[in-house]
Amino acid sequence: MAQLAANMYDQYLESLKGADPHSRDWLLIDNSPTGVIILTALYLAFIKFGPRFMKNREPFKLQNFMVFYNLGLVALSVYMVLEMWFSMKAVGVTTMGCAPYNDETRKHPGARRVAAVMWWYFFSKAIEFIDTILMVLRKKEAQITFLHVFHHASMFNIWWWVVLFIPGGCSWFGSCLNSLVHVFMYSYYGLAAIPSLRGKLWWKKYLTKMQLIQFVITFIHTNYVIVTPCDFPFWGKGVLGIYMVIMFTLFSNFYIQSYLKTKERKEKAAKENGASRENGVHTKATNGLSNGYSNHSLTNGNHHEKSS
């Protein structure tokens, strides 16, 4: 066992020779996953022990902070979308298809600029841990689903590898598309924290569909660069393709559970409600209205699933 661990460590040191010369020494990259592992462990520990801390305490009222935090992420997401697009154009990428990443592209004068915005995308995944922290402090633990935790933790760790080894080339496409989706997503969360605006946010019902569409588009793009000649590390294509399948499966299940089945329950409750009124029984009507309200609030305002 000790020999196996030693061999794995030697292979890890050998792999560092392929690290990007621009990003390898940056904050939280630093040729080592130690910082990322520690932050992820603290994140998971807070999810485990935070609710215990809050058990006998009143929920924190964080409306002003939530507006500031979410709209701050909107601004960061807008910056990343624009900077990814223009920095890739600056290094000669004018198509959404193959964007090579190799020793030659690393030497391009604009390569450091591309790597820098990739780092910001990676760092934004650490910032987004605050999503979950807010849920705990507001005693909304029901929102902390497996999908939510898996996505937040896995994206942060996967993008450490991306920024260390391939902060350029085809890596830009999925991250740019995800940042664009986040512009709409965090706009909704920020404005939904303002009670007077909640009922006016028409794009709420499209958020999960947008996330599903982005996974499909990224998966198609990944498969395109796999089957066509594209000088981009094959392991990067493989990891991204597999991850898109996993996320599409999890989000599809979330969509079915949260929207389609909720719709079925509402329709069933409405029928029972009508039958109860005809029979002169009011308790059933009350339950129908109560369940409908609960189901609605599950996806309304700040109760909407925050995942991507």
Residues contacting residue 141 through CB under 8 Å, at least 6 positions apart: 51, 135
Q: In what helix (H) or strand (E) does residue 267 lie, and over which residues does it extend?
A: helix 261-279
For the stretch 100-123, what's the b/e string if a residue is b when 16 or more beta carbons lie within 10 angstroms of its beta carbon?
Answer: bbeeebbeeebbbbbbbbbbbbbb
From the list 22, 108, 148, 151, the catalytic residue is 151
Cα 244 from Cα 155, distance rounded (Å): 11
Active site residue 151: yes
Cβ atoms of 91 and 110 closer than 8 Å: yes
Please give the span between the terminal C-alpha atoms of the chain, in angstroms, as a whole number.
Answer: 38
Please give the backbone phi and psi of residue 247, each rounded to the nearest 5 degrees, phi first: -70, -40
- Of the CA atoms within 13 Å of residue 123, those in its CB half-sphere come to 14
Tokens 């066992």, located at residue: 1
- Of the CA atoms within 13 Å of residue 181, those in its CB half-sphere come to 21
Q: Torsion over CA of 138, 142, 143 and 144, rounded to 10 degrees?
A: 100
Question: What own/partner pairs with CB < 8 Å and gap ≥ 24 does 212-220 have?
Answer: 212/248, 212/251, 212/252, 212/255, 214/177, 214/178, 214/181, 214/308, 215/244, 215/247, 215/248, 215/251, 216/244, 216/248, 217/177, 218/173, 218/174, 218/177, 218/178, 218/244, 219/244, 219/245, 219/248
Q: What is the Cα gyration radius of the chain?
A: 22
Residues labelled as active-site residues: 151
